[in-house]
Structure 1
Amino acid sequence: MKFVLCALLSLLLMSCGSLRNEVSPGTLIGERDQLVVTCYLSPQDTVLAVKVTRSQSVLEDELQTVSSRNVVDATVTLSDGSRSAVLTYDNTTRPQSLRPYYNIRASAMPIIVGRTYTLTVVTPQGERATSTCTIPGAVNLTGVTFDSLQSGNSQRYFVRARWRDEAGRPNYYQTTGVFWFTADCATCPKDTSSLTTSDFAYLSFDDDNRGLFVDTDLDGTEMISGRAYLNGSNLNPGLPFMYRYQKASVTVNLLNVEQTYYQFWSAVVRQRRVRNNPFAEPVIIPSNIQGGLGCFAGYNTASKNLVLR
């Protein structure tokens, strides 16, 4: 009996082994790379910027740099139906974040609520990518609340955003913000060394979708964001807030965004959440770029500043 069992196991292992075949990457027909276009338009913009790159296949060299995929010779055109503007690629523009973008001043193509814009990207190789977006109106914040909770031996401080949803239509939102602070230990207990630091930190909201909201089942009601912790300074975390900072304020932004913006970034958030899990279900990133990949969307921003110290 033991011999029969061992024989069966041996046959099973041999069968499993026969299912594994070495495949040379050179024998695979790789998908041609595609244009990847990213652009977001808002009436608050001072510069209109478009990012154009190429997609990367899983068979490509993983060490290939992001900059090597930048498309620098495309013709990028933005139109509002009555006039057009050509954006130029500028690798010397300051600040640094604008360097790999095609851009123009917003005064050359004002972004107006309710207007539809068309983006067209054409390369010397004959590739063409297009998309449209419509600019939504702003939704004002009704308040920004400051609160705290006990975490171990220290107190953690956070803010929440509040706003009233526009009734009668589906709406999509994103909350963002900045914590501005000056940490000054001259106001701390005498046994602490004196140090003054002026800086800022971007807010990160802890709700399930990382600051993205849809008004499903909440039409016309008050909406409340998750908590955005004020992690601007790790100096003396056990002290009350007023002793940690000489000055402190927070700016919270409410972005009223298009559905395409919400769908794209919601998928990105889900992908980042599971990307290190080999057993997670793949997340498909949606695209509204015809002839390419990416996202072209409009949004409108309302902001509120709260002085904390």
Structure 2
Amino acid sequence: MRTHPIICAVITCLTGLVLLYGCTSLRNEVDPNLLGPASTKLVVTGFISPQDTVLAIKVTRSNTVVGDSISLLQTGNNVTDATVTLSDGSKTVRLPYNNIPASDTVRSRPYYSINARLLPIVSGRSYTLTVVANGQRATSVCTIPAAVPPKAIILNDSVNRRYSISIKWQDPDGQANYYQAAGIFRYIAANCKACQNEVYNTLSFDDDSRGLISDVGYEGGDMSSGRAFLTSSSTPNFYNYYKTASVTANLMSIDQNFYRFQDAAMRQRRSRNNPFAEPVLIPSNIEGGLGCFAGYNNATMTLKLK
């Protein structure tokens, strides 16, 4: 016997309602007050080096996990009333809150900071950071690695009239080492007669880790960064295009916490908005909170191109 189409539609709707009811009955209502702002943690971020002129620490609070309904009740994540101290074991300094307002060239900098001369950062020395706010306490320790100087800046042949540079250095043997390569391209264009000030372009390396490198497999050997293109597009007559041109390479020796934090943050950014990507957990070395407190040591070399 043939079933009437209307009867089929009714049966389908009833089946859907039964399934929907069965799913909704599995939901348990949770009192939002149990998951409110009291569950937040201190988030502490700071990177210090012997080259610093200012020691700066950023303190915020983590977002709640209940979504926008609670998050909208929070007036802001910056913690402005914390007690922040930094110690080298023999001397302890307090970092006051200094909110430098935004300008046309820089964003606002709501940091706890002091002049670096009040607590010099020395290679090989360990530093302890302590943050106390509203009954919560977060601490961390980092050790400043030794600087590793670049051996050479290599100007690579043009690829479709795009020139690039790479950094080479000798890895110290007998220890785990981590690096962050960076650089600046300075120039004055030859076709601008009125131009006197140099243009500064930050270089970005094209390797998978964007200049973040460990010495695994290279211990004690020669190491090299990926390429960093000097121009974003092809530049015919490269040398004739500039009145003056130079490249400054920055080779930062970073500690393991710096490396792990930046590596995880990079992988998380790559997987963002991809529902099939494996979740990336951001590591933390903050006891009693979240975030990263790490040390680095910067060494530079300049190559004059013209």
Match of 1:287 among 278, 281, 284: 284
Evaluate the alpha carbon distance shift between residue 262 and residue 185 of structure 1 in structure 2; reply closer, same or farther with a 3 A threshold.
same
Task: State whether residues 180 and 199 of structure 1, in contact with CA within 8 Å, keep that contact through their aligned partners in structure 2.
Answer: yes
Q: Deviations over 1:146-172 (max 9, x none)?
A: 113333xxx111110101111111111
Partner of 2:112: 102
Partner of 2:129: 119
1:298 equivalent to 2:302? Answer no
Match of 1:173 among 173, 179, 183: 179
Evaluate the alpha carbon distance shift between residue 211 and residue 238 of structure 1 in structure 2; reply closer, same or farther with a 3 A threshold.
closer
Q: Deviations over 1:9-57 (max 9, x none)?
A: 8898667644367787865843611111111111111111111111123
Superposed, 1:146-157 pairs within 5 Å as 146-151=155-160, 155-157=161-163
SS in 2 for 1:246: strand
Evaluate the alpha carbon distance shift between residue 238 and residue 166 of structure 1 in structure 2; reply closer, same or farther with a 3 A threshold.
closer
1:70 equivalent to 2:67? Answer no
Structure 1 moving runs of 4+ over 2 Å: 6-31, 57-64, 92-99, 148-151, 194-198
Match of 2:152 among 143, 167, 189: 143
Match of 1:30 among 29, 35, 39: 35
Evaluate the alpha carbon distance shift between residue 184 and residue 29 of structure 1 in structure 2; reply closer, same or farther with a 3 A threshold.
farther
Contiguous gaps of at least 5 residues in structure 1: 188-193
| Deviating more after overlay: 178-187 vs 276-285 | 178-187
1:182 equivalent to 2:188? Answer yes
Q: Deviations over 1:200-232 (max 9, x none)?
A: 111111111111111111111101101111137
Contiguous gaps of at least 5 residues in structure 2: none
Write the letter of the residue equivalent to 1:19.
C
Write the letter of the residue equivalent to 1:69.
N
Write the letter of the residue equivalent to 1:38.
T
In structure 1, C-alpha distance between the alignment counterparts of 2:97 and 2:278, rounded to whole Å? 38
In structure 1, C-alpha distance between the alignment counterparts of 2:47 and 2:135, rounded to whole Å? 24
CA deviation after TM superposition for structure 1 residue 197, in Å:
7.0
Evaluate the alpha carbon distance shift between residue 59 and residue 265 of structure 1 in structure 2; reply closer, same or farther with a 3 A threshold.
same
In structure 1, C-alpha distance between the alignment counterparts of 2:80 and 2:117, rounded to whole Å? 23
In structure 1, C-alpha distance between the alignment counterparts of 2:50 and 2:165, rounded to whole Å? 26
Q: Report the count of equivalent residues.
A: 294
In structure 2, C-alpha distance between the alignment counterparts of 1:160 and 1:254, rounded to whole Å? 11
In structure 2, C-alpha distance between the alignment counterparts of 1:222 and 1:77, rounded to whole Å? 39
| Deviating more after overlay: 67-76 vs 33-42 | 67-76
Task: State whether residues 32 and 66 of structure 2, in contact with CA within 8 Å, keep that contact through their aligned partners in structure 1.
Answer: no
Write the letter of the residue equivalent to 1:71.
V
CA deviation after TM superposition for structure 1 residue 143, in Å:
0.6
Q: CA RMSD in A?
A: 3.2
Write the letter of the residue equivalent to 1:47.
V
In structure 1, C-alpha distance between the alignment counterparts of 2:278 and 2:76, rounded to whole Å? 30
Match of 1:246 among 243, 252, 267: 243
Task: State whether residues 184 and 197 of structure 1, in contact with CA within 8 Å, keep that contact through their aligned partners in structure 2.
Answer: no
SS in 1 for 2:266: helix
Partner of 1:54: 61
Evaluate the alpha carbon distance shift between residue 271 and residue 28 of structure 1 in structure 2; reply closer, same or farther with a 3 A threshold.
farther
Partner of 2:140: 131
Task: State whether residues 126 and 142 of structure 2, in contact with CA within 8 Å, keep that contact through their aligned partners in structure 1.
Answer: yes
Task: State whether residues 93 and 99 of structure 1, in contact with CA within 8 Å, keep that contact through their aligned partners in structure 2.
Answer: yes
CA deviation after TM superposition for structure 1 residue 258, in Å:
0.6
| Deviating more after overlay: 292-301 vs 24-33 | 24-33
Task: State whether residues 25 and 59 of structure 1, in contact with CA within 8 Å, keep that contact through their aligned partners in structure 2.
Answer: no
Superposed, 1:272-283 pairs within 5 Å as 272-283=269-280
SS in 2 for 1:260: helix
CA deviation after TM superposition for structure 1 residue 61, in Å:
3.6
In structure 2, C-alpha distance between the alignment counterparts of 1:114 and 1:268, rounded to whole Å? 26
CA deviation after TM superposition for structure 1 residue 134, in Å:
0.7
Task: State whether residues 183 and 196 of structure 1, in contact with CA within 8 Å, keep that contact through their aligned partners in structure 2.
Answer: no
Evaluate the alpha carbon distance shift between residue 77 and residue 241 of structure 1 in structure 2; reply closer, same or farther with a 3 A threshold.
same
Q: Deviations over 1:89-127 (max 9, x none)?
A: 11247984673111111111011111111000011x111
Write the letter of the residue equivalent to 1:127.
Q
Evaluate the alpha carbon distance shift between residue 251 and residue 94 of structure 1 in structure 2; reply closer, same or farther with a 3 A threshold.
farther
In structure 2, C-alpha distance between the alignment counterparts of 1:10 and 1:157, rounded to whole Å? 65
